[in-house]
Structure 1
Amino acid sequence: MFGTIFNTVMIIAGSIIGGIFKKGIKDEYQDILMQAMGFAAVALGINAITQHLPDSKYPILFIVSLAIGGLLGQIINLELRFNKLVNKFSKSNLAEGLSTAVLLFCIGSLSILGPVEAALHGDYTYLLTNGMLDGITSIVLASTFGFGIAAAAIVLFV
């Protein structure tokens, strides 16, 4: 539970900081921060795969799961359905930012791997790392979409 609380606090703190800098962070700085956070997430994901996939009893399941999940999402047009749901509740750009934040903070690879590692091995490394990534990302999102991005922390906590 510690990792989840830390992550929630980081998102709220990042949203406060980003709200203070509303429209004050230049686009090129936002871009580089998002690229850096994306690169960090990819590097951590590759590290996790190279560490744990060789120990897996069913390594092919990873590849098959990605392929089937991607195809099913495309077949049922999941992205369009999600966007329609978000737009149903709000016409402002906050809905776009909040949907991005919820997806990023709640279903990212570290958001899934972190709790699993914490529960199985008592290792909070991924959860704490994810909290830092989410904190910085929430600064960027809140500087663009406003403090409302902090609502994603509630979804994450629940």
Structure 2
Amino acid sequence: MGAMFIGFGTVANVVTVAVGALLGLVVGHRIPERTRTTVTDVLGLVTIVLGVQSALTVASPALAAEVGSAGVLIVLGSLLLGALTGSTLRIEDRLEAVADRLRTRFAAEEDAGTFVAAVVTPTLLFCVGPLTILGSLSDGLGRGADQLLVKAVLDGFAAIALATTLGWGVLLSAVAVGVIQGALTLAGFWFGDLFTAGQIDALTATGGVILLGLGLRLLRIRQIPVGDLLPALVFAPLLVALVAAL
């Protein structure tokens, strides 16, 4: 399935998230609290499945060809460096502060914790996964938007589930999807084949571990500061290049 134009996948994704959030807001009050909680739990479980599937990319032949048996160490190193960088920069706190400012300006009557979660949680869910990065780069390289179109469908249903539980703040995550995926698509368009296959696999595996953390948050098992781990996605391809050069 080819794209109508470069960036089509991101446009489709923004639309499905927005429509899904609106549908969730419309039907949310008609769904019992127990059902809404169960739907969110299902979303958490699926996120963990996607995270495991992506994390297993650490054993890919392409990554092994570039770094030998150091794939797991690269993912671990990326996450540790990402955690140190993210916590120093207080990325998670800054994301929550931005969401809280939006609540104060546009939805002061809503519960602060719920609104912040409604903005931050879906933004991380929709923008951290490997499909976001790989799909956006593929779209920018002119290889088609197939991956992003699949992601758009998944995100649309996820937005329905999240909006029924967390409220209208989920709608704002559509803006983040447009900005982040749009930037990655432009990067693919401007810089061409930016990463080697091994670097992409390391990035995918690292993103998978971050998704696992997000799944634990959705299941209310542990509130891992996933936002602070985001710099790991930058360190992963850099460490692959470093190890491969040694």
Give the TM-score taking structure 1 as reference length: 0.76
Q: Do the aligned residues in 2 keep the contact of 1:102 with 1:152 (CA within 8 Å)?
A: yes
Residues in 2 aligned to 1:8 and 1:84: alpha-carbon distance in whole angstroms:
23
Instruction: State the 1:18 CA deviation.
Output: 0.5
Q: Do the aligned residues in 1 keep the contact of 2:13 with 2:152 (CA within 8 Å)?
A: yes
Comparing 134-143 and 101-110, the one that deviates more? 101-110
Q: Do the aligned residues in 2 keep the contact of 1:37 with 1:137 (CA within 8 Å)?
A: yes
Q: Do the aligned residues in 1 keep the contact of 2:39 with 2:161 (CA within 8 Å)?
A: yes
Instruction: State the 1:65 CA deviation.
Output: 0.9
* Overall identity of the aligned pairs, in %: 27
1:54 aligns with 2:67: no
1:5-154 equivalent positions in 2, closer than 5 A: 5-51=11-57, 53-56=60-63, 57-58=66-67, 59=71, 60-91=73-104, 92-93=110-111, 94-119=115-140, 122=143, 124-154=145-175
Cα root mean square deviation, aligned: 2.9
Residues in 2 aligned to 1:125 and 1:62: alpha-carbon distance in whole angstroms:
27
Give the TM-score taking structure 2 as reference length: 0.53
Residues in 2 aligned to 1:41 and 1:130: alpha-carbon distance in whole angstroms:
12
Q: Structure 2: give runs of 5+ residues left out of the alignment.
A: 1-6, 105-109, 180-246
Counterparts in 2 of 1:123 and 1:62: CA distance versus 1, 3 Å: farther
Q: Structure 1: give runs of 5+ residues left out of the alignment.
A: none
Comparing 70-79 and 15-24, the one that deviates more? 70-79
Matched residues, number: 158
Counterparts in 2 of 1:88 and 1:47: CA distance versus 1, 3 Å: closer
In structure 1, the residue corresponding to 2:28 is in which secondary structure? coil
In structure 1, the residue corresponding to 2:13 is in which secondary structure? helix
Counterparts in 2 of 1:22 and 1:39: CA distance versus 1, 3 Å: closer
Instruction: State the 1:63 CA deviation.
Output: 2.7
Letter in 2 for 1:90: R
Decide which structure has the larger Cα Rg and report it. Answer: 2
Residues in 2 aligned to 1:7 and 1:119: alpha-carbon distance in whole angstroms:
15
Structure 1: 4+ residue segments shifted above 4 A: 117-121
User: Which structure's relative contact order is higher, taking Cα pairs within 8 Å and 6+ residues apart?
Assistant: 1
